Structures are given as structure tokens and as C-alpha cells.
Amino acid sequence: MKAAKMVAWICLIAMTAGLINAFVNGDFFIDGGALFENPWGVMSIIDLYVGFALFSIWIVYREKTRWKMIIWVVTMMIFGFLTGSIYVLKALYESKGDWQVALHGLNRGANNGKT
């Protein structure tokens, strides 16, 4: 569990540093436009949003409250794996060392894992 938390913290720090660098040194519209002109840039965006969607399935599975699901998924689609890193940290810390809780959420036992 300690190693997972460390990896999640490193990911969160890397995402934060990368986003700060991009906002300070880049132009979202110019750089984004260049990305969409390149077939591999388009493929990278497709790959990224497939990852967001698959990660969001886990969020929906873990969260019991609909409004929390919506907030987490929307922020995942906007902020990407910055949100994913925060969500993993949330799951790890609320689990108190129990991997079943980390993976399945606090309320999964109440409905025997049925969604």
C-alpha cells in the first residue's frame, strides 16, 4: 500500500508540474491545433480519452453516490490523470490499508459487489 501511495503521489506531482509548465510556456490553442494536424497527435488524443473512459468505469463502480460519480467523471474528462492521481490517492487513503476497500470502495460489501 505504501508503494502504491508513493507512485500515486509521484504521478500527481508530475501531472501538476507538467500542467504548470504547459500553461506557463505553451499556448493551448496553437499547440493543440498542431497536435490535431498530426495523425499521431490525433491517435494520442484517442488513446488518452479511451484511458479516461476506462478509468471512469472504475470510478463509477467504486462510488455509491451518483453526484460524486458525475463530479469525478466530469473532472476526469477535463483534467485527465491529474484527477486520476487524486482519485487513486483518495481510494488508497480511505481504504486504511485494505486493498479490497481501495479497489471496490467503502460501500461495495453492502450489495455483494453488484452494480
pLDDT tens digits for 86-107? Answer: 999 999 999 998 899 899 987 6
7: Cβ contacts below 8 Å, ≥ 6 apart? none
What pLDDT sits at residue 111?
A: 52
pTM (2 d.p.): 0.83
Q: Which cell is 8 given?
A: 500515486
Cα gap 61→64, rounded to integer Å: 8
What is the average pLDDT value for the chain, to the nearest integer? Answer: 90
pLDDT tier, 108 (very low <50, low <70, confident <90, very high otherwise): low
Give first-to-last CA distance, the chain, whole Å.
26
13-22 per-position pLDDT tens digit: 999 999 999 9
93: Cβ contacts below 8 Å, ≥ 6 apart? 5
